[in-house]
Chains A and B, each alone.
Chain A
Amino acid sequence: MHEVGATYKVVKFCSVQKFFFSALLLLCIVAPANSNNAPEDTIREPFNAGDLIIGKAIDNFEWDIAKVGDSYIALPLPIILIYDGRFYFFLSSRFEHGKASYKGFGIGKTGSQRNRIIRVLDDGVTPDPNAGRLWNFSISKAAFSGLVSALLLCLVFVWVGKQYTKMGPGGTPKGFCALVEIIIIFVLKSTAFSSISHKYVHRFLPYLLSLFFFIFFSNILSLVPFFPGGVNITGNISVTFVLAMFTFFTTQFLANKGYWKHIFNTPGVPVFLKFPIPLMPIIELVGVFIKPFVLMIRLFANMTAGFMSILGFVCLIFVLGEFSTFAGFLVSPLVVFFLIFMNFLKILVAFLQAYVFTLFSAMFFGMAVPDDHH
């Protein structure tokens, strides 16, 4: 019961945060009057900022947009499950925001199962101890937001590409295309062309550009506080894992002989480091897997930290509001000031992290295709 109540609370404050940017002034005028009129007879759960922040930073199976009074405004997302050889497809609204179970599936509440779809017993709450492997292919909030960002990316760049086709090779771009070209040239010159040997660089350019703009678009989209933004896409470890895997497999598949020689028979290293104990090959081989891992963790940690710090500032209002309503309103202008500052910082970080991911990918590609004479 307590757990359910806490979830309620979280959702309630989430909804306030959703409207925060647009409705701050309105809140300032209306809220004090409301607190005078409505007697404090309901039992208030203590506000848990940590739960709220983690809840927003992780993935979810529905898209909670706002909660007005007792009714939710949420976008139901498709749940796709494979369990026991059967295929299940339904909308997340069947779960009634985590309260109900559907066809024996529910959302876990505790421990490692929290916020995951699990097999539940007939009471709809208790996890099934004998449940088999559950394959969850649901289009979650992060997946949906990621698809939106991918779609947006395609629309924008296919349009830009069309403009380029229209003006023919060697033409001069205008307006938005010119801006895009500046970014493209900046990214390529400072990453690909400075780390990959010019003989092989051209095969990596489309991937590096897609990577950069995908991360950049997702980062920027996660800064937009309303639908379809506001989702921690690149701060989700699954997403960074996928991107790192793309870089990893591209590195391995397009690597040439020099790369493998460098791993198994590192040139310029004394023989006793390779034989009888193959110390260097082991270190190099571990390095192959550490590289994408580092990429994954760096992007995830940076984006999540930024996302959480913004939410932390928002929560500051409500944490202080717990002590006194007045303190909450008093601190809010300061918090808004910090939020504006943080948002600017996040725009910088959005570009920087996309750039860093691209740069390191380019450097790994550069190592994968060393020059023949090297």
Chain B
Amino acid sequence: MELVTPGLGLIFWKTVAFAFVLIILKKYAWKPILKSIAEREREIADARQKAQQIDLELSNLEDLKARKIAEVELLCNQIVAKAKTEAQEIIENEKIRSIEDAAIILANAKRSVDEMKNAALQQMKGQVAALSLEMAEKLLYEELKDKENSNKLVNHLLDKAIPN
């Protein structure tokens, strides 16, 4: 029976001891420990929230970056395409102009060649006329010496000088 019968003395001392334990631990142990744990919990929660916010901002930035890159790529493509077409145009224009220039140069050359040919012809004609006169002079002089011979010579010279 003594096993299950509470004893007064033990109850008294136990109550005193436990009450003291409660008071001392509450003040010197649980207060700082629980405060520290609560503070840490709060800090962790704060840090988590901050991290989430940063994560969100980061993903926003990522989106912005992607958008900007896309924009820039588009712009770049446009510029390149424009440059290509412009270059093509320039090339075409240059081609046309050079052909035109060449034609002008050719025409000029032709004209000057013609002019020089004409001038040369004129000069040759003058010289032929002068030569003819000289020959006519000599023939006339030979004619005067030998009639028959002079005739033959005149004919022959004339044939030679002027084939037509």
Contacts and interface: CB of A to CB of B under 8 A. Distances in A.
B36 A164 contact: yes
Interface stretch (B8-16, B90-98, B122-130): B8-16
Interface in A169-212: 169-173, 180-181, 184-185, 205-207, 209-210
Interface residues of A, number: 58
Interface stretch (A152-160, A322-330, A342-350): A152-160
A158 B35 CA distance: 15
Contacts of A136: 7-9
A161 B30 contact: yes
B3 interface: yes
Contact of B4 (A135, A167, A237): A237
Contacts of B28: 157-158, 161-162
Given A143-B13, A241-B11, A154 B6 contact: no
A114 B7 CA distance: 13
A161 B10 contact: no
Interface residues of B, number: 38
What's the dominant secondary structure at chain A's contact region? helix
Given A210-B22, A214-B18, A140 B7 contact: yes
A281 B43 CA distance: 47
A10 interface: no
Contacts of A147: 13, 17
Given A54-B3, A209-B30, A137 B13 contact: yes
B164 interface: no
Contacts of A362: none
Contacts of A112: 1-2, 5
Given A112-B1, A115-B2, 20 more contacts: A80-B9, A112-B5, A142-B10, A146-B14, A150-B20, A153-B21, A157-B28, A161-B29, A167-B36, A169-B39, A169-B40, A170-B39, A170-B42, A206-B25, A209-B30, A214-B18, A237-B3, A237-B6, A238-B11, A246-B22
